[in-house]
């Protein structure tokens, strides 16, 4: 969906982009084309994507499917983070390696450090689950787009009262 939202800040934009390579409602999967992956790398990236989607659903207050967060823990454990310093003495978190999993681990760590990780969520609509960055003041957004997914949900609730 996306609803024209601005991308997530910093490295979280990569997490958002990865999760949004699959359109849940249509099944359109752009993972291979977007990240240039094939074979086992593509399979691993798809597993990472869905485990991240589960974490983002949890941020929105929905239980993650059983085992998905354990899968995410296992996958990101393979990308240990180190602290490095640049020429100005600024500390930088960096994952070992430069593959997609390492880049995602770094992005998540940066988001945790910045306090922005929990604002990256998955849309509540079961036929959407699009990743979005919740910029609402109270961080209680539920849908990627209030005008589309939110409106549909409110209309369903209204009709069920019928």
Residue 11 has pLDDT above 90, yes or no: yes
For the stretch 26-38, what's the b/e string if a residue is b when 16 or more beta carbons lie within 10 angstroms of its beta carbon?
eeeeebeeebebe
Q: What is the pLDDT of residue 26?
A: 95
- Residue by residue, DSSP assigns 49-99 as HHHHHHHHHHHTT-PPPTTHHHHHHHHHHTS-EEEEE-TT--EEEEESSSS
Q: What is the pLDDT of residue 69?
A: 95
Mean pLDDT of 109-129: 93
Q: What is the pLDDT of residue 146?
A: 58
Mean pLDDT of 64-72: 94
Mean pLDDT of 137-147: 75
Contact 121, 56 (CB under 8 A): yes
Residue 38 has pLDDT above 60, yes or no: yes
Low-confidence winner among 27-31, 55-59, 78-82 (lowest mean pLDDT): 78-82
Which of the two residues, 65 and 148, has the higher pLDDT score?
Answer: 65
CATH 1.10.3300 assigned to 12-161: yes
Share the mean pLDDT of the chain: 89
């Amino acid at each position: 969906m996306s609803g024209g939202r601005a991308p997530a800040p910093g490295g979280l934009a990569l997490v958002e982009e990865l999760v949004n390579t699959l359109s849940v409602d249509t099944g359109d999967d752009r993972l291979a084309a977007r990240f240039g992956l094939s074979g086992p790398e593509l399979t691993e990236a798809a597993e990472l994507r869905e485990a991240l989607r589960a974490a983002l659903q949890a941020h929105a207050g929905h239980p993650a499917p059983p085992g998905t967060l354990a899968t995410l823990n296992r996958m990101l454990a393979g990308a240990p983070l180190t602290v490095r310093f640049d020429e100005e003495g600024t500390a930088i978190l960096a994952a070992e390696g430069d593959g997609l999993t390492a880049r995602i681990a770094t992005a998540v760590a940066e988001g945790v450090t910045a306090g922005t990780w929990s604002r990256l969520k998955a849309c509540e609509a079961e036929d959407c689950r699009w990743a979005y960055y919740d910029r609402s003041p109270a961080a209680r957004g539920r849908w990627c787009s209030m005008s589309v997914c939110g409106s549909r949900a409110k209309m369903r609730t209204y009709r069920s009262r019928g």
